Amino acid sequence: MSIDRSLKVKGALSRHRNVLSRAERVEVLQEEERWEEGDPVIGLPKVAHRKSHSGKKVSEKKEEAEDQPVTPAT
């Protein structure tokens, strides 16, 4: 029997997860100042956890070309 592909990848467990652990939810709530030390950890409010997508990366050569002013040919 072979090992599942998802278990072979070194960073397989670091991918985006939809469900946060209780400790992770408390961290997010603390950052949002919605939870303080001493508040109960049972019945925590829901926390939005969306994967952020950034735009496509532009190569450095293309950025340099855009930064240089265009001089008209005479």
The pLDDT tens digits of the residues spanning 3-37 come to 887 777 666 567 778 888 999 999 999 999 999 99
The tally of CA atoms less than 13 A away on the side-chain side of residue 6 is: 3
Question: Is position 44 within any domain?
Answer: yes
Question: Is position 38 within any domain?
Answer: yes
Question: Is position 22 within any domain?
Answer: yes
Sequence length of the chain is 74
41 contacts 20 by C-beta, under 8 angstroms: no
Q: Is the pTM of this model over 0.95?
A: no
The span from the CA of 23 to the CA of 28, in Å, is: 9
- How many domains is the chain built from? 1
Phi-psi region of 47 (alpha: psi -120 to 50; beta: other; left: phi over 0): beta
Question: Is position 57 within any domain?
Answer: no
Question: Is position 1 within any domain?
Answer: no
The span from the CA of 44 to the CA of 22, in Å, is: 8
The mean pLDDT value for 60-74 works out to 66
